[in-house]
């Protein structure tokens, strides 16, 4: 059974930093592309960042140069370092992967950013 468990969310002020973690189980983590998505209140869930098994990364434009995705294959964990947070980054952040042609998601972690 695939499990994705996010942690590290919490209330911050604009300009501060936060690091999210997503611990996985039930998959051969090192071969999986991992992603972070976010859903702001009243909006759809949107792509934030992803990291492939070879370490290559991509980001949505609004977080480039502020967010960094990374992975630790020994810990089966993917991270999202978020710097210079703004009110617009307020959302629930979800970890995602695709396993056996199915998208798997964590339950999310909340990141409220106040001005």
Average pLDDT over every residue of 22-48: 97
pLDDT in tens, 40-75: 999 999 999 999 999 999 999 999 999 999 999 999
Q: Which tokens in the block code for residue 42?
A: 């009243």
Q: Residue 38: count other Cβ atoms within 10 Å of its Cβ.
A: 23
Q: In the prediction, which pLDDT does 17 show?
A: 98
Q: In the prediction, which pLDDT does 35 show?
A: 98
**What is the overall mean pLDDT for the chain?**
97
Distance CA 14, CA 30 (A): 34
Q: Indicate the helix (H) or strand (E) that contains 35.
A: strand 34-39
């Amino acid at each position: 059974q695939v499990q994705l468990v996010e942690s590290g969310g919490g209330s911050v002020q604009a300009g501060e930093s936060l690091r999210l973690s997503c611990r996985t189980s039930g998959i051969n983590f090192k071969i999986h592309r991992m992603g972070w998505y976010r859903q702001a209140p009243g909006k759809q869930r949107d792509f934030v960042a992803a990291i492939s098994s070879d370490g290559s990364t991509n980001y949505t434009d609004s977080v480039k140069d502020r967010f960094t995705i990374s992975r630790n294959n020994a810990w089966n964990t993917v991270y999202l370092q978020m710097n210079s947070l703004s009110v617009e980054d307020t959302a629930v952040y979800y970890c995602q992967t695709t396993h056996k042609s199915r998208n798997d998601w964590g339950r999310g972690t909340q990141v409220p950013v106040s001005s």
